[in-house]
Amino acid sequence: MIQNETVMLGHGSGGSMMKRIIDEVFFAAYGTDELLRGDDAAVLPAPAPGERIAFSTDSFVVTPHFFPGGDIGKLAVCGTVNDVATSGARPLYLSCGFVLEEGFPMDDLRRICQTMADTAAEAGVKLVTGDTKVVNRGHGDGIYINTSGIGLVAPGVELGGAQCRPGDKVLVTGTLGDHGITIMSCREGLGFSAGIESDAAPLNHLIADVLAAAPATRCFRDPTRGGLASTLNELAAQSSTDIVVEEDAVPVRDAVRGACEMLGYDVLQVANEGKMVCVVAADQADAALAAMRANRYGADAAIIGEVAEAQPDRGPKVFLQTSFGGRRILDMLVGEQLPRIC
């Protein structure tokens, strides 16, 4: 058994100490058959004819490492699962690379690994290969995690921002700003924790339900850094369209709205880690909404706007129809509002 209470440089040496941390921490938490083989590469089944591979990677450096609603390990699984799923793929496999700082508590590492195992099981994916490096004390902020994911896209599924068409409806799967305000509250000790927690969640099953109910879905996009505003601007640019959002239709928790008003943040630019923006053909929007609301991660889903023709004398724009009856341009986030939210 590992005797050390913290990570030591020797745990990244490639020798017996590294073997123990792999066996007693990583394998103990999520040792799939593929991972337990101990090879340098996982050998996985090839796609069936007509299927395509979706592949994504992401790195996670959030502080604090633990917060209401999750931890860095949950983010590492959910973030990559959701990125793969936005293509319409069925996520299957994840890799996981750790950069650990000397002195990081071993109990915290075990807790993070168990969260990763639980979240992967919920998503129906396997952690099949990984890597561990240890850096000197003071050079790693405790723990960084990289995950990469592979999924299979069924024949005929073609999703992407360029697919949006005038008349399409824009949906979100739930309340916005929860994750960003949770992280800010924890990091700065602002006391906004009552009723606010991270929304981090694996959304691949929700996406599959929506695609089954609404085959004319154009795209999914997770509004992480830069929030809803940045995501919608990206979609408008990709499809050369305008997008009009009804402010009153956007679901936001009262506590999150109050925190944003106090801090001077636009909640539409605050990060989310367990929500999806979805653009759907108008005649299937109600079916998509019903499918979202039937999933526990989509109970607060709403139709918030629609895609419109862009004016020929200017580029694509996103507009917010305000509660007061006016209309303003909804810009992308400029600069860094909430550093290190994932």
pLDDT mean across residues, the chain = 92
- Three-state DSSP at 220 gives strand
Sign of the four-CA dihedral 217, 206, 150, 197 = positive
pLDDT per residue as tens digits for the range 83-104:
999 999 999 999 999 999 999 9
Region 290-315: mean pLDDT is 96
How confident is the model at residue 335, as a pLDDT? 64
Q: How many CB atoms lie within 10 A of CB 36?
A: 11
User: How many Å apart are CA 6 and CA 222, to the nearest integer?
Assistant: 35
The position carrying tokens 């923006």 is 277
Tokens of 17: 């100490």
Residue with token string 């004390």? 137
Question: What is the per-residue pLDDT for 195?
Answer: 74
Percentage, residues of the chain above pLDDT 70 = 96
Handedness of CA 152, 155, 157, 162 (dihedral sign): positive
For 302, the token pair is 């709403």
Q: Please name the amino acid found at residue 335.
A: G
pLDDT of residue 2: 64
Confidence at 332, pLDDT banded by 50, 70, 90: confident
Residue of higher predicted confidence among 214 and 260: 214
* Contacts of residue 90, Cβ cutoff 8 Å, sequence gap at least 6: 151, 152, 153, 154, 204, 208
Higher local confidence (pLDDT), 300 or 336: 300
pLDDT class of 18 with cuts at 50, 70, 90: confident
Q: How confident is the model at residue 3 (pLDDT cuts 50, 70, 90)?
A: low
- Sequence-distant (≥ 6) Cβ neighbours of residue 32 within 8 angstroms: 126, 127, 128
Q: Are 92 and 126 in contact (CB under 8 A)?
A: yes
9-153 CATH fold: 60s Ribosomal Protein L30; Chain: A; (3.30.1330)
The number of beta carbons lying within 10 Å of the beta carbon of residue 3 is 6
Contact 131, 26 (CB under 8 A): no
pLDDT surpasses 60 at 248:
yes
Question: Stretch 175-181: mean pLDDT, rounded?
Answer: 95
- pLDDT band, residue 37 (cuts 50/70/90): confident
Matching residue, tokens 């496999």: 93
Query: 90 — phi, psi (to 5°)?
Result: -95, 105
Query: Residue range 290-296: average pLDDT?
Result: 98
The average pLDDT across 290-294 equals 98
pLDDT at 121: 98
- Distance set, CA 288 to CA 83, 206, 278, 325 (Å): 19, 10, 9, 28
pLDDT value at position 252? 97
Which pLDDT belongs to residue 256? Answer: 93
CA distances from 227 to 18, 101, 147, 269, 337 (A): 39, 30, 22, 4, 10
Measured in degrees and rounded to the nearest 5, phi and psi for residue 260 equal: -65, -40
Provide the angle, in degrees to the nearest 10, between the axes of the packed helices 72-85 and 106-123: 30
Q: Is the pLDDT of residue 176 over 70?
A: yes
The CA distance from 69 to 198, in Å, is: 5
> Mean pLDDT throughout 159-180?
96
Q: For a pLDDT cut of 90, what percent of the chain falls above it? A: 73
Interacting residues of 174 by C-beta distance below 8 A, sequence separation 6+: 199, 251, 274, 275, 297, 298, 299, 300, 301
CATH superfamily of 161-329: PurM-like C-terminal domain (3.90.650.10)
Name the least confident of 4-18, 20-34, 42-56: 4-18
pTM of the model: 0.92
Domain ranges of the chain: 9-153, 161-329
Q: How far apart are CA 214 and CA 323, in angstroms?
A: 30
> For 111-154, how does the pLDDT look when each residue is reduced to its tens digit (9 = 90+)?
999 999 999 999 999 999 999 999 999 998 999 999 999 999 99
Q: Is the pLDDT of residue 210 over 70?
A: yes
Q: What local confidence, expressed as pLDDT, does residue 97 receive?
A: 97
